[in-house]
Each structure stands twice: as structure tokens, then as C-alpha cells.
């Protein structure tokens, strides 16, 4: 089978298309013919060397989520799975290939009214979004600042916060991304311009945001943190510019409920439940993933490069369909 493999840590150039044996499912697993593989910024970090810290052994096939059709099952798995379309998580590796294996108890059957593209786009970003909004208790009356609002997850965060009755300002870089934020129904501010946090406050009627969902990191993350209202809630989940690490004393003094990515880490049962919820919201029309880049398997390096260079808009997917 065709697969992308990482045999050394490095830049996108280390992603090589190779021919590998088709993996066979073990006990409790599904063997899936992949039609769409998800790509998120985490995949680029792992490839760049963070994978060693995560215990990933070289060589490995990148990608942690996919949509496809079950071709075979392992011991203890009902044969009725065979031939069914599924959304499945493979952990942190294994999805960027024509065939992959995934745990059956983490897979979700897909109905005919949900496309493989939409399902794959919600596989990780949808789960992350629902966790972010639940942890920060976003609801009517909240004023929400979303940093990196034009990313794959950011576009979903904007939609979900608006659906919960919040007033939303989305911060992003450049007019192309700002236009997307406006399309989604939020006010848009460029976080690379001087005084941008003042514009956020102005867009919120002169009030500071009560919730910060921080997906940018780096300088934009630090600047967004300074404008969060006292008593506000924050989750810093993005690492494109390095994770935001608020000063604990500042957090205490301002009475903030603040945390990082660890606050939205879920067990397998929770992941599956949130996946089902994400698909239900799609079916209800409450949100939809914004998919602006689709690459063939052979161009996974270009997909990684677009994420790292901040040129990608909204969601990027890898398509393996004929």
C-alpha cells in the first residue's frame, strides 16, 4: 500500500511516500481503507522532533484520524462492521496511508448524509472545540475572543461560541483570514497590527472579553491574555507560536480560571462521545467545518508546510479517494 513515512525528524521534506505492507487489525481493532486523513498542527510538531518526546519510534506513518470503509476486523469485533463507513482515531500515528488500523471502541459509524470530508474535518478539531467551550462554560452573555480564528479548529470555535449565544471577536492574520471570520458571523481583528486588543474591546462594546480561547500562542497569545477581563476564563490550546504560559501570580491576582491543553485531554469514551456530538451538530446545521485545502497523499509535505508557514486557511485534509 502507499503510505507516507517519517524515518528521521525534520522539516516537511522528511515526509516520504513509500510502499508498506497492509496492516492487519489485532484484537478489538478495525482494518480501514482510508478515504480521507485529517491533518492538524500537532502532526507537524511530532514530525519536527516532538514525536521523540511523545514516545513515537522511527520510522512511523503520521496522522491521527481518518474516515474510510472497514475492510476487515480483528478478533472479538463483530463482522457487521465490514463494509461500513467509519470515522476513526488512530492515536497520533498511522492515518496517512491507504489502509490503517483503529480501535473499534473509538470508531463511529457514519450515516449516508455525512461526507467523509466533513467527518474527518471534525475528527479532532470538533472534539477539541466542544471541550474548549465546555471547560470555559461559554454561554449567552459571554464575550469571547478567539485567537487563530481562521484555523481548522478556530473556525469551529467561532461557530460554536456564536451558537451558544456569545458575542465573538475572532483574531487572525491578514485580510484573507479576516474575511473568513466575518463570513462565520464574528467581528474580525488582525492580531499583527498595533493596538489590536483595543479594537477587540471596541468591538465588544467597550467591554473586555470574559473568555479567551487561545489558539495562536507567542506574542498574540500574550497580548490577548492582557486584555482578558478579571475573573475571566481561558484555555491556551494552540502552539503555532509556542504555548501561552500565563504568570501564575497574575492569574491569581486577576481571579482567572486559566489552563492549557491538558484541560481538554479526554479518555477514549469521552472522545467517542464528543465525536458523536460533533457529528450530530453537523447534521443539525449548528456548524460545519470550513475545508479550504485538499491534498493527495503524495503532497502531505505541502499540507504540513502550509500549516507551519501560516498560509493554510481553515481546514486541511488529505484525500485518498480515487
* Cβ contacts of 302 within 8 Å, gap of 6 or more: 12, 295
When pLDDT is cut at 50, 70 and 90, the band that residue 180 belongs to is very high
Residue 121 neighbours by CB distance under 10 Å = 29
**What is the DSSP track for 79-141?**
GGGTT-EEEEE-TTBS-SBSEEEEEGGG-EE--TTS-HHHHHHHHTHHHHHHHHHHHTT--TT
With 90 as the cut, is the pLDDT of residue 206 above it?
Answer: yes
At which residue does the C-alpha cell 481583528 appear? 189
State the CB neighbour count (10 A cutoff) for residue 78: 8
Q: Estimate the share of the chain in helix, then strand, then coil, as percent rounded to the nearest 5.
A: 35, 25, 35
Mean pLDDT, range 89-101, rounded to an integer = 97
Which residues have CB under 8 Å from 66's CB, separation 6+? 32, 34, 35, 36, 37, 38, 87, 88, 90, 95, 100, 102, 120, 123
Distance CA 122, CA 291 (A): 10
User: What is the arithmetic mean of pLDDT over 4-33?
Assistant: 98
Length of the chain as a residue count = 322
Q: How far is CA 57 from the centre of its chain?
A: 23
pLDDT of residue 241: 61
| H/E stretch holding 187 | strand 187-190
Per-residue model confidence as pLDDT tens digits over 277-312: 999 999 999 999 999 999 999 999 999 999 999 999
Q: How confident is the model at residue 244 (pLDDT cuts 50, 70, 90)?
A: confident
Task: Convert the pLDDT of each residue in 138-157 to its tens digit.
Answer: 999 999 999 999 999 999 99
Per the prediction, the chain carries an average pLDDT of 95
Residue ranges of domains in the chain, CATH in brackets: 2-110+290-319 (3.90.180.10), 126-264 (3.40.50.720)
Entry pTM = 0.94
**Cell numbers for 180:** 473568513
Integer-rounded Cα Rg, in Å, for the chain is 20
Confidence of residue 239 (pLDDT cuts 50, 70, 90): low
Amino acid at each position: 500500500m502507499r503510505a507516507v513515512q517519517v524515518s528521521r525528524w525534520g522539516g516537511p521534506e522528511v515526509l516520504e511516500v513509500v510502499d508498506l505492507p497492509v496492516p492487519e487489525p489485532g484484537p478489538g481493532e478495525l482494518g480501514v481503507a482510508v478515504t480521507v486523513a485529517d491533518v492538524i498542527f500537532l502532526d507537524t510538531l511530532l514530525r519536527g522532533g516532538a514525536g521523540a518526546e511523545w514516545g513515537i519510534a522511527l520510522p512511523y506513518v503520521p496522522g491521527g484520524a481518518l474516515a474510510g470503509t472497514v475492510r476487515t476486523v480483528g478478533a472479538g469485533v463483530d463482522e457487521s462492521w465490514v463494509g461500513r463507513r467509519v470515522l476513526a482515531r488512530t492515536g497520533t500515528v498511522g492515518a496517512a496511508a491507504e489502509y490503517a488500523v483503529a480501535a473499534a471502541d473509538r470508531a463511529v459509524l457514519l450515516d449516508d448524509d455525512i461526507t467523509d470530508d466533513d467527518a474527518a474535518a471534525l475528527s479532532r478539531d470538533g472534539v477539541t472545540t466542544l471541550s474548549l467551550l465546555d471547560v470555559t462554560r461559554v454561554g449567552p452573555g459571554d464575550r469571547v475572543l478567539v485567537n487563530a480564528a481562521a484555523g481548522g479548529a478556530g473556525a469551529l470555535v467561532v461557530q460554536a461560541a456564536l451558537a451558544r449565544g456569545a458575542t465573538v471577536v475572532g483574531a487572525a492574520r491578514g485580510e484573507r483570514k479576516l474575511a473568513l471570520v466575518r463570513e462565520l458571523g464574528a467581528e474580525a481583528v488582525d492580531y499583527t497590527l498595533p493596538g489590536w486588543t483595543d479594537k477587540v474591546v471596541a468591538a465588544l462594546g467597550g467591554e473586555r472579553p470574559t473568555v479567551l480561547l487561545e489558539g495562536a500562542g507567542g506574542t498574540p497569545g500574550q497580548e490577548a491574555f492582557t486584555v482578558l477581563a478579571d475573573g475571566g476564563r481561558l484555555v491556551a490550546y494552540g502552539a503555532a507560536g509556542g504555548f501561552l504560559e500565563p504568570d501564575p501570580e497574575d492569574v491569581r491576582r486577576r481571579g482567572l480560571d486559566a489552563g492549557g491543553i491538558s484541560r481538554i485531554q479526554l479518555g477514549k469514551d469521552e472522545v467517542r462521545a464528543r465525536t458523536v456530538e460533533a457529528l450530530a451538530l453537523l447534521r443539525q446545521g449548528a456548524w460545519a467545518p470550513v475545508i479550504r485545502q485538499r491534498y493527495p497523499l503524495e503532497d502531505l509535505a505541502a499540507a504540513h508546510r502550509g500549516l507551519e508557514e501560516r498560509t493554510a486557511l481553515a481546514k486541511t485534509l488529505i484525500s485518498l479517494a480515487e
